[in-house]
Amino acid sequence: MRIADHLLAHLDRLSPPATVHAHCDLPCGVYDPAQARIEAESIKGIVAKYNDSSDQEFRIRSILIKEERAELVKHHLWVLWTDYFKPEHLEKYPQLHDLFWKATKKAGEVKKSTDAKVADELLSQIAEIDKIFWETKK
């Protein structure tokens, strides 16, 4: 066998391993919308403190933390959507796709807003997901 053929035959050993992402390092099967809700509640609290403050440094920090929390909301929602919910759930709850789409869009909107109403809307959408989630756990 030529050296080039030998190298090609073993190229997969030379390639970097594929990166796999999960909500934890072991598919544990533990899912709960509470993770997204807690981050959304944090956002609501940050927005309130931001609006009550005139300290520019505090307000800047608030925005940065709020944006991080909004990304975490999106992450936790997508983990639920992609890893927990199955086709049979979608059959029983056909609004799920739209609900997750709207909630993740709202999490993106909350990043650009300091309006408490937007944070409340996100919490409301997460509450709808939470209700369906627990119905599927019965």
In the chain, where are the structural domains located?
30-136
Tell me what pLDDT residue 21 has: 46
Which backbone phi and psi does 15 adopt, to 5 degrees? -75, 145
Instruction: List, for the chain, all residue ranges whose pLDDT scores fall below the cut of 70.
Output: 1-28
30-136 is a CATH 3.40.50.300 domain: no
Tell me what pLDDT residue 28 has: 65
